[in-house]
Amino acid sequence: MGIYQGDERSERAVLALVAHDEKKDDLLQLATRHRSTLAKLRLIATGHTGGQIAAALDIDVERVHSGPEGGDLEIGARIVAGDVDAVVFLRDPLTSHPHEPDIQALLKVCDIHGVPLATNLASAEILLRSLSQAMWWGRSAAESVLTGS
């Protein structure tokens, strides 16, 4: 549904936030730097990550299950349904994850559905700065950033 649909949620883009355990502190620091932008978005996050962000920034975050409990797949399903406009997924590529197939499925649906995906701090900074600037210019600019038009 995100910014593309004509419902009450359409005024705010939906950003999914996910971080492996080894990257949660990095995501919290990133979120703190971009709090004003995140406060203007609808946020969805996997379990523990969402709880940490909500508590640290005092903003609403919709929480799904943790990644190992299917949260990555829940977010992937929301992407397929058109309910997520962008994803920040700070991954730890050096650690083995038992739910790796779920992680790969999430990355794959982002590619298939053209959803912007940041998987490291550098790309997350670019994504959030672009969203911030686009929101300053207005809804049509934000749609351009998210749709690539």
Residue 60 annotated in active site: no
Among 7, 25, 26, 72, which one carries the catalytic annotation?
72
Measured N-to-C along each axis, helices 139-147 and 121-137 cross at an angle, to the nearest 10 degrees, of 150
List of E strands, 1-149:
14-19, 42-46, 62-64, 86-90, 117-118
Helix H segments across 7-95?
24-33, 35-38, 47-57, 71-80
Q: Which residues are catalytic?
A: 72
